């Protein structure tokens, strides 16, 4: 498949453990972020008017989602990559990279039209730790 020359110049590649890499060239993307844990209630009998809360301790990495071009000749590879943990690499036009461990949660072709590259929507999830079990706090570069 020829390289796509339009879009943001962002490439997402997922390489499932023991599998083949699949690639998307972005036309629209929402990079991963962070979400805090639910609040923890601290209300006691001493509270007379308002409940008391504290922030939770855990942080979750949010999903990366987007729309991008894909290679229709590799549909079996995209299907095989679903729900298999592996290496995720997001390369921005500037050359900056985001690397993490995660998996392809969804892949949905949205169609193709004459003169345009075939597009698919996709969602990636992240495990929150590296292969050794160490917290993996990825740095999220600005696109």
Residue 139 confidence class, pLDDT cut points 50, 70, 90: low
Is 97 part of a structural domain of the chain?
A: yes
17-26: pLDDT as tens digits: 998 999 988 8
Residue 20 domain boundaries: 1-34+53-143
Residue 1 confidence class, pLDDT cut points 50, 70, 90: very low
List the CATH number of the domain containing 81: 2.30.110.20
- Burial of residue 3 (number of CB atoms within 10 Å: 0-12, 13-18, 19+): exposed
- Whole-model pTM above 0.85? no
Q: How far apart are the first and last CA of the chain?
A: 25
Nearest CA to 107 out of 90, 119, 93 is that of 119
Q: What's the number of domains the chain is made of?
A: 1
């Amino acid at each position: 498949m020829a390289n796509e020359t339009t879009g943001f110049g962002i490439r997402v590649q997922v390489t499932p453990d023991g599998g083949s890499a699949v690639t998307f060239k972005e036309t629209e993307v929402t990079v991963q972020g962070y979400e805090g844990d639910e609040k923890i209630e601290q209300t006691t009998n001493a509270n007379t008017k308002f409940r008391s809360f504290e922030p939770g301790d855990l942080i979750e990495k949010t999903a990366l989602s987007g729309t991008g071009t894909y290679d229709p000749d590799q549909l079996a590879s995209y299907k095989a990559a679903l729900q298999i943990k592996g290496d995720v690499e997001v390369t921005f036009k500037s050359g900056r990279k985001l690397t993490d461990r995660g998996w392809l949660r969804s892949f949905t072709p949205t169609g193709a039209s004459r003169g345009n590259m075939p597009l698919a929507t996709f969602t990636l999830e992240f495990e929150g730790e590296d292969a050794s079990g160490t917290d993996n706090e990825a740095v999220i570069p600005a696109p």
